[in-house]
Every structure is written in structure tokens, then in C-alpha cells.
Structure 1
Amino acid sequence: MTLAKHPDPTPALGLPEDDNRFESEPHEALDGPDLPDGWQVYRPSEDDVEDLTSLLRRHETRGRGWASSSEDDVLVAVSGVRTHENLLIRDADGVARGWASAHDRAAGRMLTTLAVDRELPPREADRCARVLLEWCDAQARAVGESRGVPVQQIDATAFADDPRHQQWLADAGYAKVRSWWQMVRPVVPEDRELAPTPGDRGVVVRRVRREGGYESGTMPEAADLHTVHDVLEAAFADHFNSYEESFDEFVHRLREDPGHRWDHWWIAEIVDGEGGDEGGAPEPAGALVGTWLTGPDDTPDGSFVAYIGVLENARGRGVAKALLRTIIADAAERGRNRVGLEVDADSPTGAHELYQALGWRTKYVTESWHKDVPVRP
């Protein structure tokens, strides 16, 4: 497969300021929320980030045993007005008790995050969850209508060891559709030597090019960014729940991540001419987008494989292995102590076997729960 060429050197990075497809007024999305007397619903602002972070961290601790979210992570959702919308529930004393965040990810797919204060009595917690999930339905209808699709999918995540959260989703009409292994590989200084040898099996891994080098502060070359997007779209076309995402949406979303760094983006190329151009010019074969994970408290930082994809006609050449060895060696060079990734527990490709062979082990498991919401005419 030969990817399309992109002669325009300047990518359109970002979406129009007014490109928000949500219903931003909470009381328009909710028809008299069923909450205890004195409780209020709000559209949170940056002033609420500290409370939301505390709420989310308690949710994580209850669901898997420890918390990892930071205020920077929450700020992305609250300040991302182009592609995010949020609802905050406070009780009669002003204490944050529930939060839902909707993310307009791609046409037909909306992600949602749900956190309810587990210190609430069960009856009040259940009422809080019902209101948050009702609001999510309303946002799905608004987003789907704006995008012109007949059905809008809501994609929610739950920890595998959190039956109460799972029950809230089930009661709201969601169905569990997939499990995901959250894997971690320890990194030691000696892993610097894992960097693949250029040209091994005809594969070369390089960072996306940046005019003036990485110290220049300039944007990467547009052609390389398009190559990463095109490779990943093609590589994941037949994967579970894959929705086509435009280039602008892709780059805008990844740049929102607090761990985003351009020097964590790599392209793998076939350089021996096999399957490439007749003249032997390098042909894109795979791509990896990594992020920087800040270590909690005084613990070391880590790296994370946000995306890794290999084109079908390049499989069997060791491309994925070369990309993974690259991010491991890079993490070791930076003094980091781990590389994390997520893998589909039900993937027919057997990708987890490669990860396990390279040292990854499952740390915890998450689940995808989906609901299809019919869009109003």
C-alpha cells in the first residue's frame, strides 16, 4: 500500500474555536435532574479543576487501588471547549459529588468519563450516576445531530474490578464490549542498547522531521505528521471500534495530552526497495506515537505507547518490534523507569505475544462499555 502524498508543508493544526457540537447549557441537556434538595449541576470551569481532580483520583483509587490523574489531565477536559463538555454536580454544601466529561472523538464516536464520590450513601450515589449518564445521552444526541449521523455511540470505560461502576453503566443501557490489558515494561539503563540497528531487515526508524532540529522549537514537517496519521488510520482500519478521524482532529487531540512531545513520534520506513517505489526510495511502514508520563510524587517518569501501527504490506518485517525497541531505548536514555501501553485483550492479531516477549506484563484491566443513542431528527 502506498500512502497519499501531501505537498502542502503547513498542516492545519487545530479546529475552529466555535466548533463545539455539544449542548453547553446543563439545564437544556437535563429535564429537571433527579437530585436531592439543594444539589446543583454546573458547567465546570478551571476554578473547579482541583475539586474534579480529587474526585477523579478517589474514583481511580476505588476502582484499581491507586490514583494517577493529575490536575493537568483534568484541565485538558475542562478547558478543551472545542472537543469536550463537562457536567459537575455539587451537593447542598457545595462539595463536588459527581463529574461527567464527554469527548467528541470522531464522527459516530463520543468518549465519556464518569466519576461519582464513593463516600456518598448508595442511594445518593446512584441518583448522581443516573443524572450524569442522562446528561451523556443528551450530549450524544447533540453531537450526533451536528455531525449528521443517525446513531451516536457513547464509549465509556470502567475498571474491571469496579462492579458498582459497571452496574451504573448497565442500568443506563450500556453493554460491555471489550477488555483491555494495561501493560507495563520496566526500563533499566542497559536498555539503551535496545535501539534497533538502522537497516536491520530493511527497516529504519526515525523521529518525525523538524526543521532546524528539535532544539529549534519549530513544528514538525507537515508531510511527516500526515504520514503518521495515514499509517495509523490504515493500520487500524479493520480493528475493533475503529472510527475514521480527520487529520485536524487527530493532531489537535494528541497535542492536548499533557505528556505530548514531538520527539516521541517515530516513523518506520522500508529502505531496501522491497514493496516500495521502483527507485528504492524509503516507504512508510509503521508509526509510533509516544507520550511522557510524569511520575507521581518523587517517583521516576515513564513513557507510554499511545499508538503503534504497521501497514499490512510491511508486516512480518520486524517493524513493530523495531518501533517498540526504539521507545524502550529512548526511555532508558532519558532516565525513565517504565514504558506503558494498552492492548486489546481480544485482539485476533496476537499483539500481546510480542509485548510479552519484549518484557511487558499486565498491571490492571479496563473495560469498554458502549451505548448507541439514536439521534433526534
Structure 2
Amino acid sequence: MPEDPGLPDGWYADTPDAADEATVDRLTELLRAHERAGRGWAGAGADDVLVEISEHGVAMRENVVVRDAGDRIQAWGSVHDRAEGRMLFVHVVDRDIDERAADACSSTLFAWADAQARAVGEARGLATQQIDSGSFADDERQHRWLADAGFDRVRTWWQMSRSVEAEEAELVPDPSRWERKGVVFRRVERQGDGMPDVADLRAVHDVLEGAFTDHFNSAEETLQEFVHRLREDPGHRWDHWWLAELEDGEAAGALVGTVSESATGPDGSYVSYLGVLESARGRGVATGLLRTIIADAASRGRDRVGLEVDADSPTGADSLYRSMGWGTKYVTESWHRDVPVR
């Protein structure tokens, strides 16, 4: 952090305490206001904050907050060492403070993120470390700050949703295991203690690594990094992981789903990852996996299934999603900056 980051008199940077209920509540409030301003509604909760700042979460993350002279948190930054060469950056500033104070908070968060990028890149032995930050497509304040800090808008993402009807529980014979045209769709097997079979976890990881090799900003993750990150998601459930296998038993596709909890109505399901190996494309693997999670959601009494798709996907995945009933709910963007480590 610079000696004088340009904050108003009495304002200072601090490390948030996950054990402090008031801190968690305030960060949740900031995050929800950020969502409402960017897309019109809020969905984040305390669990989403704890993913970033809890003792478990900080195994791969660092956090900073900016407090005013009255010790009230007015800005929050979080970085996540996602994979080699890729560091995610969350940047949230209070919507009610005056423009000058907000700009100072933003500059402080970006200066801190640059320092974190150099530290992460040095630890991984890199010459350059990428910072990957996001924005809602309609958040002009965030766009201005990102551009002023040297970030480039590099990608657009459609956040899609599909309603689910109760009768769609019959869409497949059994979400736990079914077969179509020589392809077996099944849940990841679990052992007596409820933990998943290690071979199945490795198969899911290998399929997704192989399926996304040629996709935008793909960064290789170890199995340990992959599993640790996905287990942090508040909606994580082992019984929402599926594999698709061909006649020889080789895994050709995988889907990792999560629960989208709602405080005001039915929960939903979310497709965190869907990947099919190039050698198996054209055999209905992706369609079968999507039908599986839809049927599973319906059988659990859920009313929707969400997912994210690259607006410039080389596979044209959005055409499949639209043909199966998905529509765009809102749009987000990726902004990147490469930081020299030395």
C-alpha cells in the first residue's frame, strides 16, 4: 500500500475480521448495494462474503477494507489466486459516499491489488501476473475506474436462466443414472462417509481441463486447487456433480452444479461447469447433461436453472442453451490488466 494513498483525512486501510459479525454484515450490505446498482437487484448474502474473508477462504485469498474516520467500512477489495497467471479481483465501493472519497477508495484498492499481483506472481515464479476483474455491463462508474486503472474490457458474458416445471422431473429416467445412445449419464459416486470417489473427481477435473483448453483465458488448475475452490461455494453439493461416459467407460463430459438459495421463494440450480471433450462432441453429451440437471432440479421442487455463457464462445454453446429454453437475464464483463512482477 502506498504511504499516502490519497484517502480523506482519518480514513485508513485495514484487514477485515471474519469473526466480527458487524464486519460481515457491512460487507454484505456493500456487496448487495453494488449488485443493485449494476443489475437492478441483489442476490449476495453473508455466505458469499465469508467465502472471501473466512479462515478457510483466505487459503487462496487476501482482503483489504477502507474505513472512514468513524471506522465505518466504505470500500472492500479481495484477490483470489485462482490459478497460475490468473488472479481474480473483487472491487466494491460504497454507493452513497461523495465522488471524491469514492475515487480515492477505488485508487487505494487498485494500488493494493497491483501489489498483491506482484506478490502472487513472484511466489509462482512469473514475469507477469494477470488481474482479472469483473463488472456488470451497465455499471458505468465501475467501467470508468477500471479503464482509468489500466484495465481492458476483454469479454462479455451472458448470465442465463431457464424456468423449471414440476413435470420436467420425468425429463430423464433417473438423474442418478441413465443412458441414451450409448452414453451413460451418472452422478459422481460417493463412499460411505459421503465423500466422492477420488477417481471420479479426477475424471471430472480431467474432462473440464481438456474441454476448456482452447477457451478464452483458460488457466490450468491442479486437482487440489479445483476441488478446494469449488467446495468454497456456498451452494456446493457433491450430489450435483455428474459424469457422462462412453461405451468404453471413458469420461467424455462433466457437469458441476450448485444450489442457488433464495430467501423469498424456491431455490434454484446453477450450472457452474459444463464441458465435453472435443472427441465426443456431436453425440448429445451436453444436451444429456443439461436434461439431467433440469430433471434433478424439478425433482427437488426448484423453479429455475441458471448458467453463464461466453458471448463469443467458439462452440456456439448459447445456441444450444436457447434451444433448450434458456434466456439472458443480465450481462457481465471481464476486465484484465497485466502487472509486471519485477
TM-score w.r.t. the length of structure 2 is 0.96
Q: Secondary structure at the match of 1:77?
A: helix
Distance 1:139 1:148 in 2: 14
Report the equivalent of 2:231. Answer: 255
Q: Secondary structure at the match of 1:81?
A: helix
Are residue 313 (structure 1) and residue 266 (structure 2) matched? no
- The answer to whether the 8 Å contact 1:196/1:325 transfers is no
- The answer to whether the 8 Å contact 2:215/2:314 transfers is no
Report the equivalent of 2:36. Answer: 61
Q: CA deviation at 1:251?
A: 0.3
Q: Secondary structure at the match of 1:239?
A: coil
Q: Which amino acid aligns with 1:232?
A: L
Q: 1:338 aligns with which of 278, 282, 304?
A: 304
Report the equivalent of 2:11. Answer: 39
Report the equivalent of 2:242. Answer: 266
Distance 2:148 2:180 in 1: 53
Q: Which amino acid aligns with 1:292?
A: V
Are residue 211 (structure 1) and residue 177 (structure 2) matched? no
Q: Which amino acid aligns with 2:156?
A: S
Distance 1:240 1:36 in 2: 40
- The answer to whether the 8 Å contact 2:5/2:104 transfers is no
Q: Which amino acid aligns with 1:61?
A: R
Q: 1:114 to 1:196 in 2, by over 3 A?
A: farther
- The answer to whether the 8 Å contact 1:137/1:373 transfers is yes
Report the equivalent of 1:292. Answer: 259
- The answer to whether the 8 Å contact 1:99/1:132 transfers is yes
Q: Which amino acid aligns with 1:70?
A: G
Q: CA deviation at 1:218?
A: 2.5
Q: 1:222 aligns with which of 192, 198, 222?
A: 198
Q: CA deviation at 1:196?
A: 6.1
Runs of 4+ that moved beyond 6 A: none
Report the equivalent of 1:6. Answer: none
- The answer to whether the 8 Å contact 1:331/1:338 transfers is yes
- The answer to whether the 8 Å contact 2:259/2:269 transfers is yes
Are residue 83 (structure 1) and residue 50 (structure 2) matched? no
- The answer to whether the 8 Å contact 1:30/1:138 transfers is no
Report the equivalent of 1:366. Answer: 332
Distance 1:191 1:130 in 2: 49
Report the equivalent of 1:119. Answer: 96
Q: Secondary structure at the match of 1:199?
A: strand
For 1:80-229, what aligned pairs fall within 5 Å after superposition?
A: 80-195=57-172, 198-212=178-192, 217-229=193-205
- The answer to whether the 8 Å contact 1:196/1:326 transfers is no
Q: Secondary structure at the match of 1:262?
A: strand
Distance 1:229 1:342 in 2: 19
Q: Which amino acid aligns with 2:290?
A: L
Are residue 348 (structure 1) and residue 314 (structure 2) matched? yes
Q: Which amino acid aligns with 2:319?
A: E
Q: Secondary structure at the match of 1:249?
A: helix
Q: CA deviation at 1:149?
A: 0.7
Q: CA deviation at 1:49?
A: 1.1
Q: Which amino acid aligns with 2:235?
A: G
Report the equivalent of 1:236. Answer: 212
Unaligned runs of 5+ in 1: 1-28, 272-280
Report the equivalent of 1:9. Answer: none
Distance 2:282 2:3 in 1: 55
Distance 1:51 1:30 in 2: 25
Q: Which has the higher strand share?
A: 2
Q: Which amino acid aligns with 2:260?
A: L
Q: CA deviation at 1:96?
A: 1.4
Q: CA deviation at 1:95?
A: 1.8
For 1:6-21, what aligned pairs fall within 5 Å after superposition?
A: none
Distance 1:84 1:35 in 2: 24
Q: CA deviation at 1:195?
A: 1.8
Q: CA deviation at 1:261?
A: 0.3
- How large is the RMSD of aligned CA atoms in angstroms? 1.0
